[in-house]
Structure 1
Amino acid sequence: MMGLINNSLTNSQLKLYGYFLLILSTLLSCTAQPNSFEINKDVKIYLHPDELGPVQQAANDLQRDLTAVLGEQPEIVSQLPDTGEVIIIASGDYFHGEKPSVEGWEAHQIYADNGRVVLNGADMRGTIYAIYSFSEEFLGINPLWFWASETPEMKESIEVDADFHKIFSSPAIKYRAWFPNDRDLIIPWQFRSEENYEAFFETMLRLKLNTLEGGIADYKSFEPPYPAGKEASTASKRGLMVTGHHMLVFGSGYNNWNRYWEKVRQQPAPQISIYDKKSLSEFWGFHIDLAQKNNLDPIWLVGFRGNRDIPFWEFFPNSPKDDPSRAKVIEEMVQIQIDLLKEKTKKKNPLMRLTLYNEMSRLVANGDFHIPDEDSLIHNFVAARRDHFPNKDLLTYSFNNELVGYYMNLQFNSSGSHLAQAEGPYKMEQNYRMVDSICGGNLIFSVVNAGNIREHVLTLSANAEMMWNFGDYNSDAFLKKFSCNYFGNQFGEEIAALYKDFFNSYWQQKKVDLPGFKRQYLFHDLRYARAAEMILKDMEAGKYRPNVLHGHKLDNPDKGSVGYFRVEPADNGVENQVEAMLKGTSASIEKLEKVTQKADEIYPELESGKQFFSDNLRGQAYLMLYLNRMLFHLNEAYKETSDMQKRRQFLQESIRDLQMAHQQLKNAENGKFTGWYAPERVFGMKKLENRMQKYMERLDSK
């Protein structure tokens, strides 16, 4: 044929014919390889039969997400189909596609492969993260969808670019943890359903966290077949690592001391004592064995504290009375634990962490306690109690390339943020930037504490984002992205600015003493409750003290208290604490009135995230507005000692403010969170209102 063409056509004609063939070839190539392809209800999920259980769990979540978006449940298959729409879930090199397998700790990628989608992780968690990243990127399922009360938008199909390829490199901070402590609200809610129970585990993985801090045993762990506790088991089933918190050595707890001896050893429990190191070692050893038997993936917690989050000398009888002697006991116990761990795990350098919380922080700062020289020991420093900023032990420590961790409270159940978020992304970022700078860039572990989760999901998300992308993270950029994702692009930037205004509305009752550190001291919502109680106590006793907040039961210098309220009159430009509270709450009221007014303007215009906006920002701003008004009017009543009619009027306004705050909590109980605040006792809003009402009745009877 070519011979005939060559013999019958001129050179010019041959050139034209060649151009024609080239154009035709290009057109045919475009037809054969379109710029995009679609995934619809016929899609299948291919899961390699050797994938681990946690990957299977994440695949089940993807199946649920696809069902919610496409309207039909896709099949999960263990044999790769030759044709048709397929989402391929592959760890390591289980699948050889167009792109090489990704490498590095928890690294993952998503790519299009000849009309199929490949979700590939370098390891188990990397693959899990790839699954949830696909769900977010293509299905519109945000990491906080559960807490944000989101319903996925249904679609006929999902379009994928034919050359789509997105790589997520390894995280900047290797170990990234949540510590759900002080769970007065979430625990009753969790046990309503299995979906509720597992919600925060899934959320952790969607945010690309990898470690749960808590215990590893519950009451069932001390009877055959000796299972790990439900929480640790659920974390392991989901693919999370586990670690004990600062009073749970190897994930143990002394509240199980008797149960261990009676159930496992079948003998009476010996008297717990710092001098019976053999019994302590046996108890700790059981928990090491428990974790290994149940295939948990632990960061082993070493340390020595008492039960119920107290120093060991307040729990163990006949303990030393001075700090150097107490520090020596802790050093001995920690060394026993390290030796025991190496023996039982058969590892020269098992991964460990020592949490320098409360009394440990003081002992290290004063040079009484010396941290063991172990290459695999994470020196886990802790933010200052009650106000959460880098503490003295960290600021004065001489670092020499040690592994460093940092623990920061976002919720604190005595004087802290409880019903409304307060620390915020900016303060969180400044904490971690300072820590990383001080330790020379050796930050390897992060844990943030927020027991009830729901009120604090914004800053929890910011922390997760920062720990993965430490170098590039910026709180302004995060807030804009977060707000656009959850509330839509139209109002995203306005809402991001409103969040910032909300965090800046908190009364800063004491001037900063850490140079350059913004918002160091904050008057959190629980301080409003405790301050109101102290004022009422004086009013009931017929007293008036301008500095009423001194002498709180938790302010005890002998026990290392750092001060409960930290209200410094001079820092507020006044002479006493009552005047400081009046000035501080008045300023916050003015700021919060502007925040709530702006929120009210945005709220009816929102087309997405309306409920979440109401619960997470608008509602919390109103709550803090009412609490500020409550304390302002109560202080006015308190100082009105001569005119009881005026006192009564101010008290009535304070009661009304508190009732409005209580109503705001009820407004936030919706959908799956109906009854969320029913068990609330920490703030004690109803109890406080009843106390005010009784005092009002006393005034009326006179």
Structure 2
Amino acid sequence: MKRIRFLHMILALFVGASAAIAQSATINSLVLTADTPWVVHDSRPKSIEAALDDIQNDWYKVFGRPPNILNSLPEEYKGPAIYFGNFPDSVISNVDRSALTGDESFLVRRHIDDKGRDGIVATANDDRGIIYAMYTFAEKVLGVDPWYYWTDHEPERRSSISVPNAFDVSSGPPTFTYRGWFINDEDLLNLFARDPVQENVFSLEMFDRVYETILRLKGNMVVPATFPFPDERCYELAARRGLVLNMHHILVLGLNTYRWPSQDAVFSYIQNKELMEQHWQTCIDAFKDYEVIWTVGYRGMHDRAFWNWETGVDTDEKRAAVINGAIARQVEMVRAKHPDAKFIANMWSEGAKLYHDGYIKLPEGVTLVWPDNGVGKIRDRGTVQAGQGIYYHTAMMNRRANQLTELINPALIYSELGRFVKAGATSFLLNNVSDIRPVPLSTDAFMKMGWNAESYIDDTPKVNEKEFMLDWCQRQYGEELAPELAELYHRYFYIPFTQSNPGYKHGKSVLHLRIREMDDVFAGLVLDDKPVPEELVKMAHVNYNYGAKSVPYVESLLKDVEAMVSRIPENRRDFFRGHLLTQTKLHLYSLYAEQNYSQAVLKYAEEDKATSIQHVEASIQAYEDLFSTLGDAEYGKWAGWYRGEAFNKIFHNYDRVCVVHARLTGQPEPLIRNVRDYEEIEQFQDRFSENFPLLYPKAK
């Protein structure tokens, strides 16, 4: 009994002490309300002004009132305040800046000044660091998801926010010096956010959202579009936002080769060297007021090797000599205007082979950037060296990848980027995100690794992936369901057919490609009432077997994903449906379409026309279910999101399967929709063609 009473006494003391600690924490915590003033430096660049406007919107979403913004606090004011920017001690004293150890470093912390006034200070070494500090305040204090626009994740409305005593976020300098996105193959964004004045591939309002997201994720660089001219407003807006400008591997120095006026001159540095250099100089001049990382190199038009337009350069040695000469001249021209310019050379496609074989030689001061293979494996062959960089894809538009869905699992990102971090190859990190909305999870993992690899480098990629998936699900859906949801996401990233080709992951696009490849032959055979050749039979068998074991896997996954929908918090349910549910269904219905078309070919070869028709009808139904799935993901602000789909050719595929059905059943053939291509997407540039290599007339 004495022992029991003693334990009760100890328990009572413990409970009392805990209550006292909790009360003390409550008393000492900083409470922010809608009336807590902001102190912001009155002299600030446009980039900080834009970020300030964003976090004012954040504040309004949370508190329902705009912030009270001052240049300094009145002497008599004794309450809390929030400080954004770099201030002298006369404005806010006793700020410990020892954590600011390099470029873009920042801190956001609880601070009490020498007058005893409590508050939060968000400061940094430089303008970009201040921007990161402001967005970090929005994320960590106001609860604003950096991805809020793309994930439909609005912050909770609050009357007050308690900030704990120990609140202190300091970060930087970053692991990778330059970190950013390439907005590529933007067919969805093109129609979803049309530019009302038709001078950009999509609206400047949407570009501004993209740039905001990059900065909220602590990126600092952008390649804004696939085929922009160097004076397009998307570049100007990015610079105003404080982003470094870069050009991708086709548009070296910003020259829009897609719009090269072939009717006037052959695209050739060999045949038209003087003209090419004139255009390069015009592009250099167009970027004169911006912070730029210049991409140098030499490729042909339409993302192809230049020798497709040349004769006489029939050896690797000759080809590399042309590329080396072009790069050397480009560097010389830029340095004549900008002696301290920074350069990268992206060894995309043929460039990687020529470099590996020892033919391409880069001038001093040009950073070698290794590309991946489009689906996450970097092409350095294990030869990466310190100072080099990465061009990566979490979204890829080609016939076998994933432009509409997530594909690149975080473990692959941690493995590949980790190799470069360990080698000290952290100069440059560019990620191709295509239309952005389909790939927030993988892109978030990529950006976090790019900013601070120390958090990941000591663990295995699989461990990092597991922890990231859990963290992602906690942030998006809450802690209660996060473990179950993380397991569902993990299963999604390991659908069997996506793993079937070691070294080259396949996305659902490959399923639609296989249908087209069969249809190229089969549709004509049906029309002409000819037998199926053995080659097509073999192709259909291969295609059927390719997806067969993935069907039950994805069916099981979809069943579990659908069962989770009603358990997702109501305010996060739309995103869950638009992300994991939609993408799981897209894989399943794409598999159904491919499996049934393969079976239709095989049954027709067996002269079982009736069963062949049934399989074609099942393939058509799969496409109709796929379209319904896309429609379900076009809720609210996303209405019409998939209208611009062109590069996966899913609407085109559907029409082709319907034509085969008509031929099998003797019905009138439907018309096949035209496939949108770059010519249509970039049509807004047509009326400016006389201004090449600029969009607008050159200033006189």
Q: Residues 386-423 of structure 1: CA distance to partner in whole angstroms, max 9, x if unpaired? A: x44132xx1164x6644333433522233321221112
The partner residue of 2:217 within 185, 207, 210 is 207
Equivalent residue in structure 1 for 2:369, among 362, 380, 393: 380
Contact 1:218/1:230, CA 8 A, preserved across alignment: no
1:443 matched to 2:426: yes
Verify: 1:308 aligned to 2:312, yes or no: no
Residue 297 of structure 2 corresponds to residue 299 of structure 1: no
For residues 206 and 216 of structure 1, the distance between their equivalents in structure 2, rounded to whole angstroms, comes to: 23
How much does 1:78 deviate? 2.9
- The answer to whether the 8 A contact 1:216-1:244 is kept is no
Larger Rg: 1
Q: Which residue of 2 aligns with 1:504?
A: 494
Contact 2:387 2:427 survives alignment (8 Å): no
In the other structure, the counterpart of 2:159 is: 156
CA contact 1:546–1:578 (8 Å) conserved in 2: no
Of 596, 620, 638, which residue of structure 2 is paired with 1:673?
638
The 8 Å contact of residues 532 and 631 in structure 1, kept in 2 or not, is answered as yes
Residues in 1 aligned to 2:533 and 2:446: alpha-carbon distance in whole angstroms = 42
In the alignment, the residues of structure 1 paired with residue 237 and residue 37 of structure 2 have an alpha-carbon distance, to the nearest angstrom, of 27
| Structure 2 equivalent of residue 147 of structure 1 | 150
Answer with 540-549 or 317-326: which moved more: 540-549
Amino acid at match of 2:580: L
- 2:612 paired residue number: 647
The equivalent residue for 1:573 is none
Q: What's the TM-score, normalizing by structure 2? A: 0.82
Aligned pair partner of 1:99 in 95, 101, 124: 95
1:600 aligns with 2:562: yes
**Correspondence for 1:367:** 358
With over 3 angstroms needed to count, the CA separation of the structure-2 counterparts of 1:699 and 1:240, relative to structure 1, is same
Q: C-alpha separation between the residues in 2 aligned to 1:92 and 1:280?
A: 49
> Does the residue aligned with 1:678 lie in a helix, a strand or coil?
helix
> Quick one: structure 1 residues 164 and 338, their matched pair in 2 at CA, closer, same or farther if it must change by over 3 Å?
same
Q: Which residue of 1 aligns with 2:85?
A: 90
| 1:588 paired to 2:554 | no
Q: Confirm or deny: 8 A CA contact 2:370 2:388 kept in the other structure.
A: no
SS at match of 2:69: strand
Equivalent residue number for residue 598 of structure 2: 635
1:677 alignment partner, SS class: helix
Are the equivalent residues in 1 in contact too, given 2:25–2:165 (CA < 8 A)? no
Is the CA contact 2:192–2:644 (under 8 Å) kept in the aligned structure 1? Answer: no
Inter-partner Cα distance in structure 2 for 1:135 and 1:86: 15
1:432 aligns with 2:428: no
Deviations 1:7-54 (A, max 9, x none): xxxxxxxxxxxxxxxxxxxx9xx9999411211111232221222211
Aligned equivalent of 1:12: none
Shift of 1:588: 1.2
Structure 1 alignment gaps of length 5 or more: 1-26, 222-227, 260-267, 513-519, 550-575
User: Does the residue aligned with 1:405 lie in a helix, a strand or coil?
Assistant: strand
Q: Is the 8 A contact 2:181 2:431 kept in 1?
A: yes
Give deviations 1:619-675, integer Å, cap 9, x for gaps: 110111111111111111111121101111111111111110111111111111110
1:539 and 2:539 are equivalent in the alignment:
no
Corresponding position of 1:523: 506
For 2:386 and 2:151, how far apart are their aligned partners in 1?
A: 41
Contact kept in structure 1, 2:327 and 2:362, CA below 8 Å: no
2:484 to 459, 471, 494: 494
**Structure 2 residue aligned with 1:62:** 55
Q: Which residue does 1:117 correspond to in 2? A: 120
Q: Can you give the 5+ residue segments of structure 2 that lack an aligned partner in the other structure?
A: 1-19, 113-117, 196-202, 457-463, 526-530, 668-700
Residue 546 of structure 1: how far off its partner (Å): 5.8
| Residue 683 of structure 1 pairs with residue 681 of structure 2 | no
Shift in Å, 1:496: 1.2
Residue among 169, 173, 184 paired with 1:170 = 173
The Cα shift of 1:307 comes to: 2.3
Q: Deviations over 1:464-509 (max 9, x none)?
A: 0111121322222111111100111111111111111001014047
Confirm whether residue 252 of structure 1 aligns to residue 255 of structure 2: yes
- Greater mean deviation of Cα atoms: 319-328 or 52-61: 319-328
Q: Secondary structure of 2:31's partner?
A: strand
1:290 aligns with 2:280: no
d(CA) in 2 for partners of 1:453, 1:651: 33
Task: Report if aligned partners of 2:176, 2:428 keep a CA contact under 8 Å in 1.
Answer: yes
Distance 2:308 2:483 in 1: 51
CA drift of 1:68 comes to: 0.7
- 1:564-608 CA-partner distances (Å, limit 9, x unpaired): xxxxxxxxxxxx543333233221111111211111121101114
Q: Deviations over 1:343-376 (max 9, x none)?
A: 11133xx31100000111121123332233x1x3
Distance 2:221 2:30 in 1: 37
* Alpha-carbon distance between aligned partners in 1 of 2:25 and 2:532, rounded to the nearest angstrom: 86
User: What residue in structure 2 maps to residue 656 of structure 1?
Assistant: 621
Distance 1:547 1:493 in 2: 47
> Percent of pairs identical after alignment?
24
Between the aligned partners of 1:688 and 1:458, the Cα distance in structure 2 is 28
Distance change >3 Å, CA 629–CA 81, structure 1 → 2: farther
In 2, Cα distance between equivalents of 1:508 and 1:460: 18
Per-residue CA distance 1:51-88 (angstroms, 9 max, x = gap): 22111111111111000100111133333444244221
Structure 1 counterpart of 2:381 = 395
1:488-541 Cα deviation digits (max 9, x unpaired): 1111111111111001014047452xxxxxxx3333122111111111222223
Instruction: Go from structure 1 to structure 2 and tell me whether the alpha carbon gap of 1:52 and 1:687 turns closer, same or farther (over 3 Å shift).
Output: same
Q: TM-score, normalization: structure 1?
A: 0.82
SS of the residue 2:398 aligns to: coil
Match of 2:269 in 1: 274
Contact 1:212 1:242 in 2 (8 A): yes
How many residues were matched structurally? 613
Between the aligned partners of 1:255 and 1:92, the Cα distance in structure 2 is: 48
Distance in 1 between residues matched to 2:37 and 2:53, nearest whole Å: 12
2:609 aligned with 1:618 = no
Going from structure 1 to structure 2, the CA distance change for 1:633 and 1:258 (only over 3 Å counts) comes to closer
Correspondent of 1:345 among 326, 333, 338:
338
Amino acid at match of 1:613: F
Q: Does the CA contact (< 8 Å) of 1:59 and 1:131 recur in 2? A: yes
Change (3 A) 1:92 1:470: farther
Taking structure 1 as reference, are residues 401 and 596 closer, same or farther at Cα in structure 2, changes over 3 Å only?
closer
Task: Indicate the residue corresponding to 1:19 in structure 2.
Answer: none
Once residues 197 and 213 of structure 1 are traced to their aligned partners in structure 2, the CA distance between those partners, rounded to angstroms, is 11
Match among 118, 126, 130 for residue 133 of structure 2 = 130
Do the aligned residues in 2 keep the contact of 1:246 with 1:355 (CA within 8 Å)? yes
Instruction: Judge conservation of contact 1:110–1:118 (CA < 8 Å) in 2.
Output: yes
> SS where residue 88 of structure 1 aligns?
strand
Q: CA deviation at 1:128?
A: 0.7
Instruction: Evaluate the alpha carbon distance shift between residue 356 and residue 692 of structure 1 in structure 2; reply closer, same or farther with a 3 A threshold.
Output: same
Amino acid at match of 1:428: I
The letter of the residue matching 2:639 is T
Q: Larger deviation: 150-159 or 399-408?
A: 399-408
Q: 1-side partners of 2:26 and 2:595: how far apart? A: 69
Q: 2:405 aligns with which of 397, 410, 420?
A: 420
Distance in 2 between residues matched to 1:690 and 1:257, nearest whole Å: 33
Query: Partner residue of 1:325?
Result: 318
CA contact (8 A) 2:30 2:163 kept: yes
Partner residue in 1 for 2:200: none
Q: Which moved more, 1:142-151 or 1:79-88?
A: 79-88
Structure 1 residues 173-220: Cα deviation after superposition (integer angstroms, max 9, x where no partner): 11111111100001222336654332111111111111102479956x
Task: Tell me the equivalent position of 1:74.
Answer: 67
